[in-house]
Homo-oligomer: A and B are copies of this chain.
């Protein structure tokens, strides 16, 4: 059996088993769709985020939420900052209901393990984790995005937060060499987002100068590291740079960002003498295209 056939076999078996479990343990009173939505609300969420995450029609979500509201499980309100955006949160009754669903769902998962031996269980859980990570990785796609878009801004916020955490001092983008939205928008530059089911989980930017390009804002969400996303983003930025006819790429990085340095080295970047006054940089790299 070749790989493709194995994957298809996997798909058949797994959907069958999980579907059976879900029907048995959830989907009792409420429809499966409503249960999933209830789960996804968690500590409260914007409706537009839920919609995107579950990939559902706006009208459909609206109706599902109203049903849940009538059952007294959720309450709907609007954001103060933007009254168009609806925000759902669980009522105390809803919290109790989610806890119950959680327990049932736990029982369903436990039923998968129950007939197996200790060794089989460990092997199952480990392989599941691998499959899950890789499926997530395979569903991530890259998109060139406007650096001012909501998703891009979210990414950059996370990026700055993380730099502040990992650097010895707080990170202040205004002190750092600039990479403002207008510099990362064609034709001055490019901003690449990595999207996982509508959520931004990584980014990277290329700032084009006349005779070289600068790689900026490389970031991957902690939950998605080790999936090769950084590699994909960097490859895409290099592709864009080549397309622009740039012959040289430069970047600078902080000593705390070891994974980033490993990535650059594996892509053939050579460490060079400092070529900028970037206050947060300890290492400077170059690569000829």
Contact = CB atoms under 8 A, between A and B. Distances in A.
B125 A127 contact: no
Contacts of A132: 9-10, 13-14
Interface string A56-85: 000000000000000000000000000000
A108 to B, nearest CB: 8
Interface string A216-244: 00000000000010011000000000000
A13 B123 contact: no
B130 A124 contact: yes
Interface stretch (A88-96, A111-119, A161-169): A111-119
A136 to B, nearest CB: 6
A15 B17 CA distance: 10
A4 B116 contact: no
A7 B127 CA distance: 10
Given A115-B140, A125-B6, A11 B228 contact: no
B128 A124 contact: no
A134 B121 CA distance: 8
B15 A109 contact: no
Interface string A1-28: 0011111111101111111111000000
Given A106-B8, A138-B112, A3 B125 contact: yes
A262 interface: no
A18 to B, nearest CB: 5
B106 A4 contact: yes
Copies in the complex: 2
Interface in A130-174: 130-132, 134-141
A129 interface: yes
A112 B4 CA distance: 9
A142 B131 CA distance: 29
Contacts of A22: 11, 15
Interface in A100-114: 105-106, 109-110, 112-114
A31 interface: no
A134 B140 contact: no
A161 B10 CA distance: 29
A127 B134 contact: yes
Contact of A109 (B7, B16, B105): B7
Nearest to A13: B132
B17 A139 contact: yes
